Amino acid sequence: MDLLPVVLESKTGRELKAYSPVFIHNCLEKCIGSYNGCSPLRNGNLIVKCCSVQQMTALLQCTKMTDGAVSVKIAAVSMRPLGARGVIYNVPLDISTDDLVACLASQGVKSVKRFRFKSSDSSELKDSKSVFLQFDTAVVPGEVKIGYLFFRVKQHVPRPLRCFKCNRYGHVAGHCRGKLRCSMCSGEHNNSECSAAAPKCPNCEGGHSANDKICPIYKRETEILKL
Residues that bind Zn ion (CB under 5 A): 163, 165-166, 176, 178, 182, 184-185, 187, 194, 196, 201, 203-204, 206, 215
Return the axis-axis angle of helices 21-32 and 53-61, rounded to nearest 10°. 110
Of the candidates 90, 31, 91, 19, the one whose C-alpha atom is nearest the C-alpha of residue 55 is 31
- Comparing CB distances to Zn ion, the nearer of 123 and 192 is 192
Cβ nearer to Zn ion, comparing 114 with 175: 175
Nearer to Zn ion, 129 or 220 (CB): 220
Q: How far is the CB of 208 from Zn ion (least distance, A)?
A: 6
147 versus 178: smaller Cβ distance to Zn ion: 178
| Distance of alpha carbon 144 from alpha carbon 132, whole angstroms | 12
If the CB atoms of residues 45 and 183 are measured against Zn ion, the closer one turns out to be 183
Q: Which helix (H) or strand (E) holds 133?
A: strand 125-135
Q: How far is the CB of 217 from Zn ion (least distance, A)?
A: 5
Look up residue 215 and give its amino acid: C
Distance CA 175, CA 209 (A): 22
Distance of closest approach, residue 9 Cβ to Zn ion, in angstroms: 16
Among 11, 14, 27, smallest CA distance to 71 is for 27
Rounded to a whole number of angstroms, the minimum distance from the CB of residue 96 to Zn ion is 42
CB of 167 closer than 8 Å to CB of 205: no
Q: In angstroms, what is the minimal distance from the CB of 64 to Zn ion?
A: 17
Burial, 198: exposed, middle or buried (Cβ in 10 Å; 0-12, 13-18, 19+)? exposed
